[in-house]
Structure 1
Amino acid sequence: MSLPRRALVVAAAALSAALVLGACGSSSDASADLGGTKGSVAPNGVTVNLTADQKRVTTTKVDAIAALVPEEIRKSGTLRVVDSLGTVPPLDFHATDDRTVIGAEPDLAYLIGDVLGLKVELNPVSWENVFVGLDSGKYDVGITNITVTEARKEKYDFATYRLDILGFEARKGSGWKIAGPGDVAGHTIAVASGTNQEKLLIAWNEANVKAGLKPVDIKYFQNSSDYYLALSSGRIDAYLGPNPTSAFHAAQTGETEVIGTYSGAGDQVLGKIAATTKKDNGLVKALNEAVNEVVRNGTYGQVLKRWGLENEAVQTSEINPPGLPRTG
């Protein structure tokens, strides 16, 4: 991801300009497009704070849950949280200072840290290095929109905290709706490489071709801003990504809309996002109980509402539930 140290909210503003000008501005142009505003509108109509001064939702330590944390982590006093580079609002992105990582994922990480009585250390890295860092023990937990899959369960333990919903985003007013594989036949759709949404789109395309329908022209771009500029210029018909990001982006620009949503695990199982830790390292129970505590005390709901994600809430955290099935 390489929005040059600028949150995707900047790309959202740039997209509005691009729809009018038909051209891509520089990062400084995009920054100017924000107009110095200190907030932005989430899909639920709530104005969200984009500055470094977040005034995050907090909660209190629960000694019985904190006691579940492995001794080594407990003694260190720090929970080392790894997240992917901040370019996906409202999940994980940079504030207007271009340094501070904000969003629903960091908010939840800090809430978990509160319950466990640990200082949270956020470590933004590239997506592939999330798992490299978990494997090596460099980081304790990944809280960065990681979907539970059966393959991943061989190496990691999961404590769920949000539903995994994907969204197809298209230019507003197209009249096109997506409810299943047949609806994407013959269209040009962008998706990020190496993601579960890519697997879903490829599977849909293979089913369509087998049924004699036109294939999908799948496009890949280098970073998030490129996807949205391609959408604004008509080079792609839709972008398939995490629904929170698409819905947030559409709410800001008013130029696009989500034309269909789907479980990130396909039609076989309900997709779930989870705090991810190295298998059998003893941390998952503490994470699970911490999430359940913030669900019970209401601070979890406050965080989701803050970012317009109420429709992706879980009623309880699960440890290692059924995940995205294996392919091939």
Structure 2
Amino acid sequence: MSHRNVVTTGPWLLAAIVGLSGCTNASLEGGSAAAHPLPGQNGAISAAPLNQTAADLLPAEVRSKGTLLVGTDPTFPPYEFYAEDNKTVTGWDADFARALGETLGLEVKMIPATFDTILPGVGSQKYDVGISGFNVTAERKKNADFATYMNSGSGLAVKQGNPKNLALDAMKLCGTKIGGEKGTSQGIETLPAFSKQCMDAGRPPIDIQLFPSQHEANLALTSGRVDGVLSGDIGMAYASKLSGGSFELAPGTGWDPTAVGIAMPKGSPLTKAVVAAVEALVASDTYTSINAKYGIPDSVKVSADQVDAGATR
């Protein structure tokens, strides 16, 4: 699946490339990160105005605290990754979270976590919200509310040249080793469903390999321990551009577009305020400028009337 600073080249970039693809500096063209300009490297973001209507919906304890604690997994550029100080979480989701705070009159604090621990942390109120590219699935909606801010499909990364002729099609993956990140919808729903299709057809199942972070999943691909990695299509497309020729996207990219949203505890008193703020944001210049900064295509945008699809109102 998520994501304050203007992105610059430097140590963060090399770390991001490793996190994306498992490459070393030497694997890049000319051995230099500068050979691979990044979306988000430059670009101003319009400040989001305070939306008093949304701010008035905040629970009293959040308003008095003045801070929104956001759980995120900073291993998935361009949505969330570390800045050059190796401490600050930056990227699309981080910029959107900051804009959410501006809309609600709150300071935002991004708290790094492994992806599979964020939703439990939201449920236990360790975090106020989770912003880390969460697909809004029926299973997740049993335990969380969501405010949708994007639609995105899945993409399958494979070794350059696609030597095994893989595609994002269950019958093309039978008997192969496919990686993913723990806790993702691709890892816990899509790949098991594909594997079942294989077995139902009398073919060998998919050997599903799930890793604690997207960094480790991509590293497994570049080192040959898996045949492919299934994740969000925009993130994997971004990874392929930075991989120094290590991997590419297989046919079928953009499979099954799904709502992506901010996670909140089920039935949370915070939900109405966040939904109202996101409705204002997706209709604003701020949303447009964040997408432009990171090269996010118009096809993933949502309108205000799509925001509360995952919410309990």
- Fold-level match, TM-score > 0.5? yes
1:48 correspondence with 2:40: yes
Residues 1:227 and 1:77: Cα distance change in structure 2 (over 3 Å):
closer
Of stretches 159-168 and 123-132 in structure 1, the one that deviates more from structure 2 is 123-132
Match of 2:53 among 47, 64, 82: 64
Aligned 8 A contact 2:22 2:218 in 1 = no
Q: Give, as a single letter, the amino acid of the residue that structure 2 aligns with 1:312.
A: V
Q: Give, as a single letter, the amino acid of the residue that structure 1 aligns with 2:193.
A: A
What do the CA deviations read for 1:45-82 (whole angstroms, capped 9, x no partner)?
A: xx4329xxx96542111212211222221222222222
| 1:12, distance to aligned residue in structure 2 (A) | 4.7
Match of 2:279 among 292, 299, 323: 292
What do the CA deviations read for 1:131-186 (whole angstroms, capped 9, x no partner)?
A: 33322323221111122222332332111111142110112322735242112123
Of stretches 133-142 and 86-95 in structure 1, the one that deviates more from structure 2 is 133-142
Task: Work out the CA distance in 2 between the residues paired with 1:59 and 1:229.
Answer: 37
- Percent identity, aligned pairs only, is 29
Match of 1:258 among 249, 270, 289: 249
1:280 correspondence with 2:271: no
Match of 1:81 among 70, 82, 94: 70
Q: Which residue of 2 aligns with 1:184?
A: 173
Task: Work out the CA distance in 1 between the residues paired with 2:19 and 2:144.
Answer: 33
> Alpha carbon RMSD of aligned pairs, Å?
3.0
| 1:122, distance to aligned residue in structure 2 (A) | 1.5
Residues 1:61 and 1:231: Cα distance change in structure 2 (over 3 Å):
same
Aligned 8 A contact 1:153 1:320 in 2 = no
Q: Which residue of 1 aligns with 2:132?
A: 144
Q: Give, as a single letter, the amino acid of the residue that structure 1 aligns with 2:169.
A: G
Unaligned runs of 5+ in 2: 1-11
Residues 1:106 and 1:204: Cα distance change in structure 2 (over 3 Å):
same
**How do residues 106-185 of structure 1 correspond to structure 2 at under 5 angstroms?**
106-174=94-162, 176=165, 178-185=167-174
Q: Give, as a single letter, the amino acid of the residue that structure 1 aligns with 2:259.
A: K
DSSP-derived class of the 2:150 partner: strand
Q: Which residue of 2 aligns with 1:15?
A: 23
Task: Work out the CA distance in 2 between the residues paired with 1:134 and 1:321.
Answer: 15
Aligned 8 A contact 2:55 2:273 in 1 = yes
Task: Work out the CA distance in 1 between the residues paired with 2:24 and 2:286.
Answer: 34
Q: Give, as a single letter, the amino acid of the residue that structure 2 aligns with 1:91.
A: Y
DSSP-derived class of the 2:260 partner: strand
Task: Work out the CA distance in 1 between the residues paired with 2:199 and 2:144.
Answer: 35
| 1:205, distance to aligned residue in structure 2 (A) | 1.2
Of stretches 226-235 and 204-213 in structure 1, the one that deviates more from structure 2 is 226-235
Q: Which residue of 1 aligns with 2:227?
A: 237
Q: Give, as a single letter, the amino acid of the residue that structure 2 aligns with 1:257.
A: E
Task: Work out the CA distance in 1 between the residues paired with 2:142 and 2:212.
Answer: 30
Residues 1:120 and 1:258: Cα distance change in structure 2 (over 3 Å):
same
Q: Which residue of 1 aligns with 2:295?
A: 308
Residues 1:244 and 1:227: Cα distance change in structure 2 (over 3 Å):
same
- Structure 1-normalised TM-score? 0.78
Task: Work out the CA distance in 2 between the residues paired with 1:244 and 1:315.
Answer: 19
Match of 1:104 among 92, 102, 108: 92
What do the CA deviations read for 1:234-258 (whole angstroms, capped 9, x no partner)?
A: 3322111122221111112241221
| 1:16, distance to aligned residue in structure 2 (A) | 5.7
Task: Work out the CA distance in 1 between the residues paired with 2:67 and 2:82.
Answer: 22
| 1:114, distance to aligned residue in structure 2 (A) | 1.0
Q: Give, as a single letter, the amino acid of the residue that structure 2 aligns with 1:105.
A: D
Residues 1:215 and 1:138: Cα distance change in structure 2 (over 3 Å):
closer
Q: Aligned pairs, how many?
A: 293
Task: Work out the CA distance in 2 between the residues paired with 1:262 and 1:230.
Answer: 22
Task: Work out the CA distance in 2 between the residues paired with 1:124 and 1:245.
Answer: 18
Task: Work out the CA distance in 2 between the residues paired with 1:111 and 1:81.
Answer: 13
Residues 1:11 and 1:142: Cα distance change in structure 2 (over 3 Å):
closer
| 1:127, distance to aligned residue in structure 2 (A) | 2.7
| 1:40, distance to aligned residue in structure 2 (A) | 5.0
- Structure 2-normalised TM-score? 0.82
Aligned 8 A contact 2:70 2:127 in 1 = yes
Task: Work out the CA distance in 2 between the residues paired with 1:40 and 1:286.
Answer: 39
Aligned 8 A contact 1:179 1:261 in 2 = yes
Residues 1:40 and 1:143: Cα distance change in structure 2 (over 3 Å):
farther
Unaligned runs of 5+ in 1: 21-32, 323-328
DSSP-derived class of the 1:249 partner: helix
Residues 1:95 and 1:81: Cα distance change in structure 2 (over 3 Å):
same
Q: Which residue of 2 aligns with 1:205?
A: 195
Of stretches 117-126 and 253-262 in structure 1, the one that deviates more from structure 2 is 253-262
